[in-house]
Each structure stands twice: as C-alpha cells, then as structure tokens.
Amino acid sequence: MIQKTFHLLMHSCFSSAAAAVYLNAVLSTGLFLKTSCYFILIQEPKTWTEAQSYCEQYHVDLATIQSDEDRYKIQEIAANEAWIGLSMNLWLWSDQSKVTWMSVKWAAGQPDNASGNEKCGFVLETGLIGDDGCSHTLPFFCSEFHSCVNP
Ligand SMILES: [Ca+2]
C-alpha cells in the first residue's frame, strides 16, 4: 500500500526517469525495507540447490520476485542468466511463498522445459525469467535482508 501511494505520488510529481532515480535513492536508505527487497548477485556459478544453500547460509534465501519493484531491482544488477528462487514444485519460491504471477514475466518461449527436466527458474539481464535444468551451474541472486522473508 505504501508503494502504491508512493507510485501515485511519483507519477504526479516527476518524470518516470526522475522517479526511478529517486525511488532507488529512497530504497537505498532502507525506507521501504518492509515492502521491497534488496538483492545480491553472486557471480560464482552453482547448481540451483547449491545456490539456495549458499543464500541461506550467507544471506536470506534465493531471490523472490514478488512485485514489479523487485523485478526492476533485479534487472538493474542482472548481468547474465542467474538463478532465482523459483522452482517447479508447482512453481513455488524457495521460501515456500506462492508465486504472484503478475510479477513474473517469462522470456519469449519460456518456460519450455526444453531438456524435459527444467524445473528451476533463472532470470535474464532483461529481468525476464526462463526455466532450466536445476543441475546447471549459474550465478544466482540472493535476497539480502531478513525483512524480505519476515516483513
Ligand atoms: Ca527453458
């Protein structure tokens, strides 16, 4: 609700580019910690399961994209294919939260289950999502603050 209000405010006061810059400044102050998450991109390629363990040990969990803001945040620091917390056990986030499909934007042709065993989700530099075999090794996004999981 805070974000919606914020959006309306930004819409009325700034151009979208200025709003994006300002939003990032506000986000980086932690003002919106409860409704937005920070993400960290770990460049060392790991399998999805290894990546999840790493995130749980050193951060919070693999990244979940629960809103457009989350997606923009990921998109900003995404460089190449990288795991996120999505996996196809009925497509749940790794923290067991349900997928808000409005916030998940599949890349063209995805999910295609191309190898017949593509049960894990990765994000492209565009912020769009695809499915891939969980044993492939990719960089990955962790969510960074506990407030993401327990707001
Ligand atoms: Ca695929």
Ligand 1 centroid, distance to 19 Cα (angstroms) = 34
Ligand 1 centroid, distance to 36 Cα (angstroms) = 28
Ligand 1 centroid, distance to 7 Cα (angstroms) = 33
User: Are 92 and 137 in the same domain?
Assistant: yes
Predicted confidence (pLDDT) at residue 125 exceeds the cutoff of 70: yes
User: Are 12 and 77 in the same domain?
Assistant: no
Ligand 1 centroid, distance to 132 Cα (angstroms) = 5
Ligand 1 centroid, distance to 144 Cα (angstroms) = 27
- Higher-confidence position of 67 and 30: 67
Average pLDDT taken over every residue of the chain: 75
State the average pLDDT over residues 110-127: 92
**What value, to the nearest 5°, has the Cα angle with vertex 56 and ends 121 and 99?**
35
**This prediction's pTM:** 0.62
Tens-place pLDDT, residues 67-111: 888 888 888 888 889 999 998 866 777 887 777 777 788 999 999
User: Are 52 and 108 in the same domain?
Assistant: yes
**Which amino acid is present at 105?**
K
Ligand 1 centroid, distance to 9 Cα (angstroms) = 39
Contacts of 44 (CB under 8 A, 6+ apart): 139
Cα–Cα distance, 132 to 87 (Å, whole number): 10
Q: Which residues span the domain enclosing 122? A: 35-148
User: Are 50 and 97 in the same domain?
Assistant: yes
Residue 119 is predicted with a pLDDT of 92
Ligand 1 centroid, distance to 51 Cα (angstroms) = 18
User: Are 55 and 14 in the same domain?
Assistant: no
State the average pLDDT over residues 20-44: 55
User: Are 73 and 15 in the same domain?
Assistant: no
Largest CA distance in the chain: 49
Predicted confidence (pLDDT) at residue 146 exceeds the cutoff of 70: no
User: Are 54 and 116 in the same domain?
Assistant: yes
Ligand 1 centroid, distance to 87 Cα (angstroms) = 12
Structural domains of the chain, count: 2
Cα–Cα distance, 40 to 29 (Å, whole number): 16
Cα–Cα distance, 6 to 53 (Å, whole number): 35
